[in-house]
A and B are shown apart, each in its own frame.
Chain A
Amino acid sequence: MPFWIELIVSLLLILGSVFALIGALGLYRLPDFFTRLHGPTKATTLGVGSIVIASMVFFSWRNGTPSLHELLITIFLFFTAPVSAHMMAKAAMQQKLPLNDKTQGKPWE
């Protein structure tokens, strides 16, 4: 395997897993539900997206033909992450979850 392909794949993999880890860290240590929502919707989506793109580059080289179907997972994740975040936020507002003291403004309902 040529060095530069290996380099690209490795960089994408490391970048992706670091972002996934940051998303999980945000989920673990931020104070209330609505702040926790930010980590997974952004960091985890991009992290997993770049891991999947690394796999795309790897298999394209290995099979000798372009292997684009991993792109489907990335696109799907980018479409669905905001939708599920929105649904969970609505559920949380309806259940009147406790908020961080410093929150400005009010949720609905």
Chain B
Amino acid sequence: MLEYVVPLCMTLLGTAMLLNTLRLLKGPDMPDRVLALDTLYINGLAMIVLFGIWLASDLFFEAALLIAVMGFVSTVAVSKHLLHGDIID
């Protein structure tokens, strides 16, 4: 069953990432783009986990965790930059 379910989920997630990219291109303002990027990296993380299930390989966990950590830090950094013009208070 999994050999059918995983490609289906990849299609759904791919559509989600496409919608995020459209919002990223469309804007219209800076916070919208940041939000789109934030969602995009979370969906990309899910895609990597799915790929790990597809290949039945444990190695993708570290990549997913790193993306989660880096994505959060960069979202907060960009938001701070929008708020104050600098990153460290």
Let me know if chains A and B touch directly in the complex, using CB atoms closer than 8 Å.
yes
Q: Which residues from A are CB-within-8-Å of B2?
A: 1, 6, 9-10
Q: Which residues from A are CB-within-8-Å of B8?
A: 14, 17
The docked-state distance in angstroms from the alpha carbon of A18 to that of B46 is 12
Contact B29 A28 (CB under 8 A): no
Nearest opposing residue in chain B for A20, CB measure: B16
Contact B65 A73 (CB under 8 A): yes
B20 to chain A minimum Cβ distance, whole angstroms, is 5
How many residues of A sit at the interface, in one of the four size bands?
Answer: 35 or more
B: number of interface residues (CB 8 Å): 46
Q: Which residues from A are CB-within-8-Å of B52?
A: 55
Q: Which of B30, B31, B46 lies in contact with A17, CB distance below 8 A?
A: B46
The docked-state distance in angstroms from the alpha carbon of A2 to that of B32 is 45
Q: C-beta contact mask, B18-44 vs A, less than 8 Å → 1, else 0?
A: 011011000001111011101100110
B6 to chain A minimum Cβ distance, whole angstroms, is 7
Q: Which of B12, B13, B23, B82 lies in contact with A91, CB distance below 8 A?
A: B82
- 18 CB-based A-B contacts, threshold 8 Å: A10-B5, A14-B9, A21-B12, A27-B20, A28-B20, A28-B22, A28-B23, A40-B35, A48-B45, A55-B49, A59-B58, A83-B76, A84-B75, A84-B79, A90-B79, A91-B30, A91-B34, A91-B83
